[in-house]
Amino acid sequence: MAELRKLYPAYDAYQTGYLDTGDGHQVYWELCGNPKGKPAVFIHGGPGGGIANYHRQLFDPECYHVMLFDQRGCGRSKPHASLENNTTWHLIDDIERLRNLMGVDSWLVFGGSWGTTLSLAYAQKHPSRVSELVLRGIFLLRTQELHWYYQDGASRFFPDKWERLISILSEEEREDVMEAYRKRLMSDDPEVQLKAARLWSLWEGETVTLLPSENADSFSEDKFALAFARIENHYFVNNGFMDNTQQLLDHIDLIRHVPAAIIHGRYDMVCQLQNAWDLAKAWPEAELHIVEGAGHSFDEAGILHQLIKATDKFAGK
């Protein structure tokens, strides 16, 4: 059996800054790799997750010139946990501004989880600006996907963790968990917000991997949890600000010509494999890689292997 590919060795960004959006946000960005290399942009998950240093390592620093950024309200972007002027379409405008700042005509777009949603939406709005797509853990923001994870689906596999999530809700509130959490995450009481944020975030932190991860507790750290929960819930109760729940599948013809790799863990409990299957059926030109023995997280061995193979392939290696 061939050795599984792993992250490239750690390397630093060579330039960082803030993009002033003109409507109240300062979006943190960084550039790394080879300034003469293949342009790429990394789009993180959540919404509200933010970037980490190890995300750079998904790209060969000799081959790629990579833009990474924290989406509005999370990570190092400011103001923290802000929901004002924070929609999918604001983020797409930010990505275009960052492409112009980088000075490239087109780039490879790499997204995971919510990052696949945003990558697809961006590509469909600006198809001439996308050279390739690498998509991990497909999330199409359909009603059934949100219902699966926040109402009646994943809870059957994690009843103990689900019981903790809904422990602060009344029986009536449990009929619509996302809406009940929205009220708490928008509360005027910071303690109510934070308690709900920790529970919301920990639910995801403990279900993203096939096997328990020692990193799960980091999801409930106060600063991360507040941005993650508030922004994620804000997007989800508003259906990602899409025109309809089938929008990303309905508009595949706009990007059918774009080379793409779709990578998804068979036992992904956050975003079911059915999502990737449906995307691949609508877009047979894309390569679908179903990873056995893997859940949702990008750093599960089989998923990481396919991601590195994809970025290497599109770099011409």
Omega before residue 79 within 30° of 0, cis? yes
Q: Is 268 among the residues known to form the active site?
A: yes
Q: Is 80 among the residues known to form the active site?
A: no
Which of 60, 82, 268, 289 is catalytic? The answer is 268
Alpha carbons 223 and 48: distance in angstroms, whole number: 11
Q: Is 55 among the residues known to form the active site?
A: no
Which of 264, 296, 297, 305 is catalytic? The answer is 296
Which of 44, 55, 94, 113 is catalytic? The answer is 113
Q: Nearest-CA neighbor of 66 among 39, 43, 45? A: 39
Q: What is the full DSSP assignment across the chain? A: -PPPP-PPPP--EEEEEEEE-SSS-EEEEEEEE-TTSEEEEEE-STTTT---GGGGGGS-TTTEEEEEEPPTTSTT-BSTT--TT-SHHHHHHHHHHHHHHHT-S-EEEEEETHHHHHHHHHHHHSGGGEEEEEEES-----HHHHHHHHTSSGGGT-HHHHHHHGGGS-TTGGGSHHHHHHHHHT-S-HHHHHHHHHHHHHHHHTTSSSS--TTGGGGGSHHHHHHHHHHHHHHHHTGGG-SSTTHHHHTGGGTTTS-EEEEEETT-SSS-HHHHHHHHHH-TTSEEEEETT--S-TTSHHHHHHHHHHHHHHTT-
| Contact present, 264 and 290 (Cβ < 8 Å) | yes
Q: Nearest-CA neighbor of 250 among 207, 283, 287, 299? A: 283
Q: Which residues are catalytic?
A: 113, 268, 296
